[in-house]
Structure 1
Amino acid sequence: MTLLAERTTATAADELEGADVGVLPVGSTEQHGPALALGMDHLAAEAFARSAIDREDSVVLPTIPVGVSAHHRQFDGTLYVSPETFERYVTETIASLAEHGVRKVVVVNGHGGNTGALRRAARTLRDDRTAFAPPWNWWDSVEDVADDLFDEAGGHADAMESSLLWHLHADLVDADELAAAEDGASDGWGESVHGAALGFDTIDFSESGAVGRPTQADPEKGAQVFEAARDQLHALLDWLADRPIDDCWPRDHE
């Protein structure tokens, strides 16, 4: 099935009738240090989602490119909406798809800041029996691969993200700036003082906006990351397509 946005209303009916699962890519438009394009997160989510366009059981929705990114606001070019706005937008988008009969959705997420809002949206949709829409974070599916390929704690604009974007869109990575990104990066995400998390904004702990060791980036490693995560996504789509919708709803209190 091709992208829903490329269908006409006359041809969409048959496509939607044959779809078991919707695929909704979401991400952000935010700083990723001096070496990576602002669109890193939504471009990654879109690439993973579009890997499903040849599946007969799936329909790929348009990408939501702006997310929950206020913690990057001190860096130029960052766009963001509130968690409440993002949560409501995703919830209503999926609910509108459910009106066309597609009530199982994988939300392909490219930005960690979206995670809380997506979990709340998924719970609301499930509790209302509108749709079953689990969020899928691509980086969570490749932790073992990342451990083998990179020597870093990582977190943001790191070697893994840089490698992935380099593989997907080489023209959107300024390789000459990877060293500068690493020079101003923190080793891990956030800052803690006596057990209190104080890194409210990225600028509080990273001068460059990066977290990790981006100089380890390599497009061939990015290809390995993409292929591994893509395979995990398709396994999830297979599982969800086969799962009866009645088995997706909350269990009744006994």
Structure 2
Amino acid sequence: MTLLAERTTTDAADELGSAEVAVLPTGSTEQHGPALPLGMDFMAAEAFAHTATDREDTVVLPTIPIGVSGHHRQFDGTLYVSAATFERYVEETIASLADHGVRKTVVVNGHGGNTGALRRAARTLRNEETAFAPPWNWWDSVDDLAADLFDEDGGHADAMESSLLWHLREDLVRPDEFAAAEDGASDSWGEFSHGAPIGFDTIDFSESGAVGRPTQADPEKGAALFEAGRDHLDALLDWLAAQPLADCWPRDHK
């Protein structure tokens, strides 16, 4: 099925009637150091989501490009909304689709800061039996492959993200800035003292905004990551399309 936003309302009536599952890409517009564009996260989510346009049982929704990114606010260009605003926006978007009869959605997410809000939205929609909308973080589906490809803990504008976008949008990646990004990066996400987190904003532990080792990035490795993630998403959509809606709701306590 093609992208919902490209259809007329009369076309949508027919296509929504045959759709079993929707795909909603979410991401962010935030700093990704000197080598990657601000739109890295939503571009990645959108690329994965658009692979589902080949499916007859799936409708792909427009991308939500701004998310929960206040922890990057000290870096120029970062846009953000509160977790509560983002959660409510996603929840109501999915509920509006449910009004048209599509009540199962996979949220294809490209930004870690969105994760908590997406889980809360999914729980509310499920508890109210409005829709079943599990969030899918692309990097979680390829973590074993990434561990084989790169020597890093990573977390942001790292070799994994840089490789993926280098494959998807070579025109937007600046490989000559990878060294500068890495020079000012931290090895892993956050800063801790005696087990307590003491770094709440990215700038507290990363001067460049990057976390990881982007100099290890390679577009061929990015292609491998994309293909693996695409296959996992397709399998998830297969599974969800086959689930009876009644089996998606919370179980009664016995």
Whether 2:176 is the aligned partner of 1:176: answer yes
Aligned-pair CA distance for 1:199: 1.1
Whether 2:243 is the aligned partner of 1:237: answer no
Which runs of 5 or more structure 1 residues have no equivalent in the other structure? none
Where do residues 81-160 of structure 1 align in structure 2 (5 Å cutoff)?
81-160=81-160
Give the secondary-structure state (helix, strand or coil) at the position aligned to 1:51. helix
Give the secondary-structure state (helix, strand or coil) at the position aligned to 1:136. strand
Structure 1 outlier segments of 4+, above 4 Å: none
Between the aligned partners of 1:221 and 1:72, the Cα distance in structure 2 is 27
Where do residues 64-83 of structure 1 align in structure 2 (5 Å cutoff)?
64-83=64-83
Percent identity for Structure 1 against Structure 2: 81
Which residue of the partner structure matches residue 227 of structure 2? 227
Which residue of the partner structure matches residue 40 of structure 2? 40
State the Cα deviation string for residues 76-115 of structure 1 (Å, max 9, x = none).
0000000000000000000000000000000000000000
| Paired AA for residue 243 in structure 2 | R
Give the secondary-structure state (helix, strand or coil) at the position aligned to 1:52. helix
Aligned-pair CA distance for 1:253: 1.7
Between the aligned partners of 1:82 and 1:214, the Cα distance in structure 2 is 29
| Paired AA for residue 124 in structure 2 | T
Which residue of the partner structure matches residue 12 of structure 2? 12
Between the aligned partners of 1:101 and 1:216, the Cα distance in structure 2 is 45
Aligned-pair CA distance for 1:54: 1.0
Give the secondary-structure state (helix, strand or coil) at the position aligned to 1:106. strand
Between the aligned partners of 1:85 and 1:171, the Cα distance in structure 2 is 33
Which runs of 5 or more structure 2 residues have no equivalent in the other structure? none
Aligned-pair CA distance for 1:154: 0.7
Between the aligned partners of 2:43 and 2:19, the Cα distance in structure 1 is 24
Between the aligned partners of 1:82 and 1:136, the Cα distance in structure 2 is 20
Aligned-pair CA distance for 1:217: 0.4
Between the aligned partners of 1:216 and 1:206, the Cα distance in structure 2 is 18
| Paired AA for residue 229 in structure 2 | A
Between the aligned partners of 1:187 and 1:108, the Cα distance in structure 2 is 27
Between the aligned partners of 1:247 and 1:185, the Cα distance in structure 2 is 45
State the TM-score, normalized to the length of structure 2. Answer: 1.00
Give the secondary-structure state (helix, strand or coil) at the position aligned to 1:46. helix
Computed over aligned residues only, the root mean square deviation of the Cα atoms, in angstroms, reads 0.4
Which residue of the partner structure matches residue 26 of structure 1? 26
Aligned residue pairs, count? 254
